[in-house]
Amino acid sequence: DAGITQSPRHKVTETGTPVTLRCHQTENHRYMYWYRQDPGHGLRLIHYSYGVKDTDKGEVSDGYSVSRSKTEDFLLTLESATSSQTSVYFCATLDGTKNIQYFGAGTRLSVL
Amino acid sequence: KQEVTQIPAALSVPEGENLVLNCSFTDSAIYNLQWFRQDPGKGLTSLLLIQSSQREQTSGRLNASLDKSSGRSTLYIAASQPGDSATYLCAQPGANSKLTFGKGITLSVRP
């Protein structure tokens, strides 16, 4: 357990509204990741960060942006939510010493 | 592009059986592979990480192996229990440790 907290845990929103999901870690890990999990697709990487203010795109980044102003916080923003973004979102951090990724409990997002 | 495959998608076994979960990957430049467990509605729990320099890694009743030449990893579960029922995912890291996941194997252990 790498002390990862995701908030909110559940959210229901309407199409077209902006949504921000938060990931907070207590382990001072440099690398952080956002994945989404969907039936039939498994887990896919949205964006990741390799340090404060250093971020890059993953496999399914369209419609998402991220920010990392502090080591402990990594925010995922849906600029204008669409129904296709209904998913379970997981944040992860990398223990660079062990090369193990640890995951948060997830945020279940429904876009109506 | 890295691809990770887990077949079958689901498996049902009686309690006490020893079982093997398979994971295939296409990128032979693999440097490690991570196995996770996911319970319904929950996050992922790391079970084992096996480095490319290792052939096996063990934790309790779990044993993971990695064969780069064949592009396969296996997770062996000894003496399965109903509490082992969950989805098991394998994942291969790429650049910046970005993980590519298989779609998982949902295991059901019948009492």
Is the minimum CB–CB distance between B94 and chain A shorter than 8 Å?
no
pLDDT of residue A78: 97
Could you say which of A42, A90, A92 has the minimum Cβ distance to residue B103?
A: A42
Cβ separation A43–B98 shorter than 8 A: no
* pLDDT tens-digit series, residues B22-59: 999 988 788 889 999 999 999 999 999 998 888 899 99
pLDDT of residue B63: 96
pLDDT of residue A1: 55
Is the minimum CB–CB distance between B40 and chain A shorter than 8 Å?
no
Residues of chain A found within 8 Å of residue B46, distances taken between Cβ atoms: 100-103
Does residue B101 register a pLDDT over 80?
yes
* pLDDT, average across residues B65-92: 95
pLDDT of residue A38: 96
Size of interface A-B (CB pairs under 8 A): 56
pLDDT of residue B12: 97
8 Å CB contact between A102 and A1: yes
Distance from CA of A53 to the nearest CA of B (A): 16
* pLDDT tens-digit series, residues A11-41: 999 999 999 999 999 999 999 999 999 998 9
Helix (H, G, I), strand (E, B), or coil: what is residue B84?
helix
d(CA B2, CA B18): 30
* pLDDT tens-digit series, residues B49-70: 998 888 899 999 999 999 988 9
Give the distance from CA A49 to its chain's centroid: 10
Chain B residue with Cα closest to A56 = B96
Specify the DSSP element, H or E, that contains A83: none
pLDDT tens digits, chain A, 112 residues: what are they?
569 999 999 999 999 999 999 999 999 999 999 999 999 899 999 999 999 999 999 999 999 999 999 999 999 999 999 999 999 999 999 999 989 999 999 999 999 9
B85: closest CA among B61, B108, B62?
B108
* Buried/exposed B30-48: b ≥16 CB within 10 Å, e otherwise: bebbbbbbbeeeebbebbb
Could you say which of B42, B96, B104 has the minimum Cβ distance to residue A105?
A: B42
Residues in contact with A84: Cβ distance below 8 Å, sequence separation at least 6, in sequence order: A111
Could you say which of A45, A98, A105 has the minimum Cβ distance to residue B99?
A: A45
B99: closest CA among A90, A7, A14?
A90
Candidates B5, B31, B39, B44: best to mutate against A (most CBs of A within 10 A) is B44
Cβ separation B43–A44 shorter than 8 A: no
pLDDT of residue B53: 87
pLDDT of residue B108: 98
Beta bridge partners of B56: B65
Chain A residue with Cα closest to B31 = A99
Is the minimum CB–CB distance between B99 and chain A shorter than 8 Å?
yes
